[in-house]
Amino acid sequence: MDTIEKNGTTYVLVPREAWQKIASGEIVMPELPEADAAGNRPALEFMRVVIARGIIRDRLAKGWSQAELARQSGVRVEIVNRIEKARVTADETTLKRLDKALKAARKKAGQRTPSGANTTR
């Protein structure tokens, strides 16, 4: 994933086609859970959505379908789908496999991975 920094803010670059799919509603990002009166959100549901959004963003930046991510990572496509819909809590092994596939694709494309970067932010 490529990023640029402008005026102290870091922006993630994704292909125009991927952004258009998100902006048009063709690709739906899961919604964050509602905050309670004190502004708190349920931690588990919040974490699921943050992970899902990161995986979707990185997958789209590669131009991959869920099926391609599943093939590249060795994770069943049904599991990728449930993770991206924030319906399940993925175990550490599954998240590592998805992250490894996305990072390997970046290296093949000659893209740099910033040190300490995590594709499932």
Give the domains, in start order, of the chain with CATH numbers: 41-108 (1.10.260.40)
Tell me the average pLDDT across 46-71: 94
Q: Which pLDDT score is estimated for 117?
A: 42
Cα angle value 41/49/25 (rounded, 5°): 120
Residue 89 forms beta bridges with which residues?
A: none
**pTM recorded for the entire structure:** 0.72
pLDDT at 111 over 70: no
Q: Which pLDDT score is estimated for 94?
A: 97
Q: Dump pLDDT digits (tens) for 11-43.
A: 877 778 877 887 887 888 899 999 999 999 999
d(CA 36, CA 42): 9
Q: Which pLDDT score is estimated for 109?
A: 57
